[in-house]
A and B are shown apart, each in its own frame.
Chain A
Amino acid sequence: MMEKKESAIIFKNVHKSFGPLHVLQGLDLDIPFGQITTILGPSGCGKSVTLKHVIGILQADSGLIEVVGHDMSSIRQKELINLRKRIGVLFQSSALFDSMTVKENVAFGLRMHTKMTEAEISERVHVCLDAVKLADTEERMPVELSGGMRKRAALARAIAMSPDFILYDEPTTGLDPNTSNVVGEYILKLQDELDITSVVVTHDMPLTRRISDKVALLFKGKAVAQGTLDDIESSGNEAYQWFVDGRLG
């Protein structure tokens, strides 16, 4: 595993509310460069909300969020756009554009942001789809794919622009154990091949054990445990034990 220790993403005392619902309640979180950081936690604890702050879809009510040195509260629009181009996101629902074919989905970012020719785009799309073993689905519509295939197609789209970061929002939710394993394999494979920083939001413990360099456990909008999984397990952290036993929430 990578040994880079600098923080790529920092959350300091971040608060976020939606009306009366106080989702993030002083979140402190460090996400190091070049590693897979897994954010664990029960449903509704603010995991996906945390990810959406990283790409600027949501803005914090208070506190500091820094993404590769950019303060997200004061980042300029142009810098935000450039930052987003460096981040690939795999959404919980895959979020493939349902009016486009798989090929058009993967090519989308390349067409919008690069000056690549159609031939170069086709080549890149083929490479990305091949990386997730979906090369033969280029002309299919998302609705014609199974849940696992959709996740992999969305993963191909996320890596098409050769991002420095990939954010995975519940990558294995709704998948059978075999497909979950396959998705886990791809996360590890991409991490090794692309030398990227990955953030995985999940409550899937087997996946967490397989892929994580660092783990953060969120509960009630706060990180109640952070470190390597071994450290957290050996520390006897009460919240972590409750989470593993299914009693946290």
Chain B
Amino acid sequence: MTRMFASLGAKLAVFFIQVFDMYRYLVQCIREVRHLYLYRHQVIEQFYAVGVGSLPLVCLISAFSGMAVAIQMAYQMEAYVPDYMVGSIVVRSVVLVLSPILIGLVLAGRVGAGIASELGTMKVSEQVDALTSMAVDPVGYLMLPRILAGLVMVPILIIFSSFISISAGFIMSVVKMHITVDDFIKGMKLDFMIYDIFVGLVKSTVYGGVLTFVGSYMGLQTVGGAQGVGQSATSAVVVSSALILILDYFLTLALLY
């Protein structure tokens, strides 16, 4: 029993140390914003890598998820609600929930794991130490540009994703579910609110920051060799996915109620 409590206490201590360490990195990152001009090339590179690099995957997933949502809604609602409601439900569910969460989770895998393994490899091959020895702060040079890219490019990707999902849902509804164009558009307009887009953008900005920060942090904490890099990538995906889902609850609660 005592051993169990000791083990639990040790795990909690490690958890709180890690949370404090993450906070320290975050503060350091914010401090480095004043040297942003020095890191401008890395910022542009990361904007391209996170944004343009993820676009094909985001488009593909968004198109199929939009079509699936339209079919699901039409199937579930056909006996109870008029056809035009499909348009309304597709738009609101895509903008508020589906695109931010789905793309957030996909990017946690693609971008977060990529960042963790890239920085992890740099850490174990002494490239991070080389940066430090050359009087360049690894947090500013490696972490800050990636977080900025997440904060700016993830919302843009989610705007793309929403547009593609809705378009795909629209095409599927019209072609396959035989809902008329007028009905779908009527539904879209019915209870569409600009505030929904604001909520979707707030969520996606937070998720973008979370997945790039967690990926960078896990990468810079890597120890050991290939196994350590693998563990960092896995931890980055698991932690950022969990955080995205937990934060989604709180953001939805705070912004919609």
Point out residues on A near B: beta carbons under 8 Å: 52, 55-57, 81-82, 84-85, 87, 89, 91-93, 95-98, 108-109, 112-113, 161
**Closest chain A residue to B124, Cβ basis:** A93
> Cβ of A92 and Cβ of B126 under 8 Å apart?
yes
> Cβ of B130 and Cβ of A84 under 8 Å apart?
no
Q: State the Cβ distance, B38 to closest chain A Cβ, in Å.
A: 6
Output the residue of B127, B130, B132, B136 with the most chain A CB within 10 A.
B130
What's the Cα separation between A213 and B38 when bound, in Å?
Answer: 40
Which residues of B100-153 are within 8 A (CB) of A? 122, 125-127, 129-130, 132-136
What's the Cα separation between A177 and B126 when bound, in Å?
Answer: 24
Chain B residues within 8 Å of A109, by CB:
134-136
- New contact pairs (9) apart from A52-B129, A96-B130, A97-B122, CB-CB < 8 Å: A55-B133, A57-B132, A84-B132, A84-B133, A91-B130, A91-B133, A92-B126, A95-B126, A108-B136
Chain A residues within 8 Å of B125, by CB:
93, 95, 98
**Closest chain A residue to B38, Cβ basis:** A112
Q: State the Cβ distance, B137 to closest chain A Cβ, in Å.
A: 8
Query: Across chains A and B, which 9 residue pairs bring their CB atoms closest together, nearest first?
Result: A84-B135, A95-B126, A95-B130, A89-B133, A91-B126, A81-B135, A55-B133, A109-B134, A85-B135
Output the residue of A91, A95, A161 with the most chain B CB within 10 A.
A95
> Cβ of A98 and Cβ of B133 under 8 Å apart?
no
Chain A residues within 8 Å of B133, by CB:
55, 57, 84, 87, 89, 91
* 20 CB < 8 A contacts A-B: A52-B129, A56-B132, A57-B129, A84-B132, A84-B134, A84-B135, A87-B133, A89-B130, A89-B134, A92-B126, A95-B125, A95-B129, A95-B130, A96-B127, A97-B130, A98-B125, A108-B136, A112-B38, A113-B135, A161-B134
What's the Cα separation between A122 and B187 when bound, in Å?
Answer: 62
Which residues of B180-216 are within 8 A (CB) of A? none
What's the Cα separation between A82 and B135 when bound, in Å?
Answer: 7
What's the Cα separation between A225 and B84 when bound, in Å?
Answer: 87
Chain B residues within 8 Å of A93, by CB:
125-126
Q: State the Cβ distance, B50 to closest chain A Cβ, in Å.
A: 15
Q: State the Cβ distance, A105 to closest chain B Cβ, in Å.
A: 9
Q: How many A-B residue pairs have CB under 8 A?
A: 49
> Cβ of B136 and Cβ of A112 under 8 Å apart?
yes
**Closest chain B residue to A54, Cβ basis:** B133
Chain A residues within 8 Å of B136, by CB:
108-109, 112
**Closest chain B residue to A91, Cβ basis:** B126
> Cβ of A55 and Cβ of B130 under 8 Å apart?
no
What's the Cα separation between A109 and B131 when bound, in Å?
Answer: 9
Chain B residues within 8 Å of A87, by CB:
133
Chain A residues within 8 Å of B127, by CB:
95-98
**Closest chain A residue to B135, Cβ basis:** A84
Partner among A55, A82, A85, A97 whose Cβ is within 8 Å of the Cβ of B132: A55
Q: State the Cβ distance, A120 to closest chain B Cβ, in Å.
A: 18
Output the residue of B125, B127, B129, B135 with the most chain A CB within 10 A.
B135
What's the Cα separation between A98 and B119 when bound, in Å?
Answer: 12
What's the Cα separation between A93 and B124 when bound, in Å?
Answer: 10
Q: State the Cβ distance, B60 to closest chain A Cβ, in Å.
A: 27
Chain B residues within 8 Å of A81, by CB:
135
**Closest chain B residue to A84, Cβ basis:** B135
Chain A residues within 8 Å of B134, by CB:
84-85, 89, 108-109, 112, 161
What's the Cα separation between A113 and B131 when bound, in Å?
Answer: 12
Q: State the Cβ distance, A52 to closest chain B Cβ, in Å.
A: 7
Which residues of B48-64 are within 8 A (CB) of A? none
Chain B residues within 8 Å of A95, by CB:
125-127, 129-130
**Closest chain A residue to B129, Cβ basis:** A57
Q: State the Cβ distance, B230 to closest chain A Cβ, in Å.
A: 18
What's the Cα separation between A97 and B136 when bound, in Å?
Answer: 13
What's the Cα separation between A108 and B134 when bound, in Å?
Answer: 9
Chain B residues within 8 Å of A85, by CB:
134-135
Q: State the Cβ distance, B189 to closest chain A Cβ, in Å.
A: 48
Chain B residues within 8 Å of A56, by CB:
132
What's the Cα separation between A161 and B130 when bound, in Å?
Answer: 14
What's the Cα separation between A112 and B38 when bound, in Å?
Answer: 7
Chain B residues within 8 Å of A55, by CB:
132-133
